C-alpha cells in the first residue's frame, strides 16, 4: 500500500476507535478526536487516495474557483461542481454569492493579493518564514456562508524544493479531507511551476478531526481496502493568477467510490 492511503486509513481507524461523541452545527452528530497530521512526500506520486475513487475533476474546478478569487456559485454550477450547493441553499441567499470566502481572502484581503505576495516572496526571499496565506479574516467571518475549514497554508523552501503545509480547524475526514489533500497537492505543483522549484512535502494539520455518524460504515469499508500505486499529473497551459490551467491525471487506479451523504 502507498504511504498516503496507509496514513489516511490509520487516521480513520484512530477516529473510529478513540473518537468521542460530539454534537455539530448540522445536527448529524460526529465522533471526533482533536489534533492530527498527514505527511506526504511528493516524489512518491500525486496525493490522491486510491482506496476509494476521488472526484478529481470536481476538486480541480473548486481550486480554479479559489485561485480566480471568485465567490459566486455560478462558476461551480456551470462546471458541474455541486459541493457548495447545500451551504448556498441553507444560507437563503438568491444572488449566487457565498460571501468573502476562500477566493476573496486569497486574492483580495483588504486590497492585498496574498497569492501574488506569496509567489513573489518565495522567489525573492526563499528562506523567509513568512510564506503564508491566511483565510481566517475575523472581520469577514459573519459575512461568509461558511467560515473557512482549511484556514491557512504556509510554504517552505529547502534544497531547491518547495513544501506546503495547510491548517484545518474542522476536518470532515471521510468526505472533506480527501478533497483537501488533493487540492493542496495540486496547488503545491502549481506554485512549483511559478517558482521553478521541485515539489517537496505536503503536510496537513487538523484540529477537530471527525467522522459523521452516517459515515461510520463507509469508513470501515475503506479501511478494509488495500491501496494502489499513486498516479502522476501533467500540468500545461497554466496561469495560476487566472485560475486557468489544464491538468491530466495519469495512471489513476482506485477502488470504486463509496457514497456518503454530505452534511450542511
**What residues are labeled active site?**
149
- Of 69, 89, 73, nearest to 81 by C-alpha is 73
Burial bucket for residue 139 (CB in 10 Å: 0-12, 13-18, 19+): exposed
**Which helix (H) or strand (E) covers residue 119, if one does?**
helix 114-124
**What nine digits make up the cell of 32?**
471526533
**Residues 120 and 114 sit within 8 Å (Cβ to Cβ):** no
CA distances from 13 to 117, 179, 187 (A): 39, 19, 28
- In 3-state terms, what secondary structure has residue 63? helix
Amino acid at each position: 500500500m502507498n504511504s498516503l492511503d496507509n496514513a489516511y486509513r490509520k487516521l480513520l481507524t484512530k477516529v473510529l476507535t478513540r473518537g468521542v461523541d460530539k454534537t455539530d452545527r448540522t445536527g448529524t452528530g460526529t465522533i471526533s478526536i482533536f489534533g492530527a497530521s498527514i505527511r506526504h512526500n511528493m516524489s512518491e506520486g500525486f496525493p490522491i487516495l486510491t482506496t476509494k475513487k476521488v472526484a478529481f475533476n470536481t476538486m480541480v474546478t473548486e481550486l480554479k474557483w479559489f485561485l480566480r478569487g471568485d465567490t459566486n456559485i455560478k462558476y461551480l454550477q456551470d462546471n458541474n461542481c455541486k459541493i457548495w450547493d447545500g451551504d448556498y441553499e441553507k444560507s437563503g441567499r438568491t444572488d449566487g454569492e457565498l460571501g468573502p470566502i476562500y477566493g476573496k481572502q486569497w486574492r483580495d484581503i483588504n486590497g492585498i493579493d496574498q497569492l501574488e505576495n506569496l509567489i513573489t516572496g518565495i522567489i525573492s526571499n526563499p528562506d523567509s518564514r513568512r510564506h503564508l496565506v491566511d483565510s481566517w479574516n475575523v472581520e469577514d467571518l459573519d459575512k461568509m456562508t461558511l467560515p473557512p475549514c482549511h484556514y491557512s497554508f504556509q510554504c517552505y523552501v529547502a534544497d531547491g524544493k518547495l513544501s506546503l503545509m495547510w491548517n484545518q480547524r474542522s476536518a470532515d475526514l471521510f468526505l472533506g479531507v480527501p478533497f483537501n489533500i488533493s487540492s493542496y497537492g495540486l496547488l503545491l505543483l502549481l506554485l512549483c511551476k511559478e517558482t521553478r522549484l521541485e515539489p517537496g512535502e505536503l503536510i496537513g494539520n487538523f484540529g477537530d478531526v471527525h467522522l459523521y455518524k452516517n459515515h461510520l460504515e463507509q469508513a470501515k469499508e475503506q479501511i478494509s481496502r488495500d491501496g494502489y500505486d499513486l498516479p502522476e499529473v501533467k500540468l500545461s497551459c497554466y496561469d495560476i493568477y487566472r485560475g486557468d490551467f489544464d491538468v491530466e491525471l495519469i495512471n489513476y487506479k482506485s477502488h470504486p467510490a463509496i457514497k456518503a451523504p454530505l452534511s450542511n
